[in-house]
Amino acid sequence: AAAADAAAEPKPSSRGPRGAAALLRERAKTGVVRTGMIPADSVVAAGVFSDELFGVADPSAIIGIQFSFPSAWTQARGPNIDLRDIRTTDGAFLLATPLPAGTTLDKLPTSFFTDTLFAAGGKYGMYGTVDDYRVLSSVVEEVDGIRYRTLEIKFAALSFNYNSVERRLLLRAAVVGRGVYLLAASALANRYPTASPQLRGICESFRVRSIRTARAAR
């Protein structure tokens, strides 16, 4: 995907309301729909987040996701899966989107991942278009029979108060059924050299599996 070398100033129409009106925005669109089958007090335990989702491309499917996170992080309120360190703004959140027909995780262009990550109405695209980004690397590996793809991305996005904020991010993706499930872990650009080992550990702990198929086979 092509990336601009400098942040482009969004048009006024892309900025949306300011002040109190901005706080009334709906939550970021992530594509994630949790089943509610796991009690809220059991989702987060001993530094591990574990939950079940409805399949993003097939609501009859149940998908299990799990990843580790630092003890200093807290879970944001609401239906999305979003954990963060309030002090440093380091954080991780989950995305889900259908797999385009006729392709595989390995063959997806990097633009598929950046389009998903920076979609309008998403965590980073809800305050304006993200034009300033660069994909630094893309690596595929197989864990327990499932292929995972990890991308490293640097970008600048508008915050809720419309300041441009530079961040570095690791995006870990896996395909289960007809859906792509992605965990994004990021930090401010000036913190990334210190935070990157922790963020990489979070992404490497990310596991996705088909729960419904596993249960049916028992």
For 45-69, what is the mean pLDDT? Answer: 93
More confident residue, 211 or 44: 211
pLDDT tens-digit series, residues 25-41: 568 999 999 999 988 77
Identify the pLDDT of residue 46.
75
**How far apart, in whole angstroms, are the C-alpha atoms of residue 195 and residue 189?**
10
Identify the pLDDT of residue 24.
38
> pLDDT category, 9, cuts 50, 70, 90?
very low
Mean pLDDT check: name the lowest of 17-21, 102-106, 191-195: 17-21
In the chain, pLDDT over 70 holds for what percent of residues? 85
Identify the pLDDT of residue 22.
41
Identify the pLDDT of residue 91.
97
Q: Considering the chain, what is the average pLDDT of its residues?
A: 87
- Smallest CA-to-CA distance from 97 within 83, 113, 81 is with 113
Mean pLDDT check: name the lowest of 7-16, 20-29, 48-57, 106-115: 7-16
Quick one: DSSP state of residue 79? S
pLDDT tens-digit series, residues 154-205: 999 998 888 999 999 999 999 999 999 999 999 999 999 999 999 999 999 9
- Residue 16: left if φ>0, alpha if ψ -120 to 50, beta else—which one? left
**Residue given tokens 């009859």 in the structure block:** 60
Strand locations in 29-90, DSSP E? 44-45, 48-54, 62-68, 74-75, 82-84
For 109-127, what is the mean pLDDT? Answer: 96
Identify the pLDDT of residue 213.
61
Mean pLDDT check: name the lowest of 8-12, 109-113, 203-207: 8-12
Identify the pLDDT of residue 41.
72
Identify the pLDDT of residue 62.
96
Identify the pLDDT of residue 42.
78
Identify the pLDDT of residue 123.
94
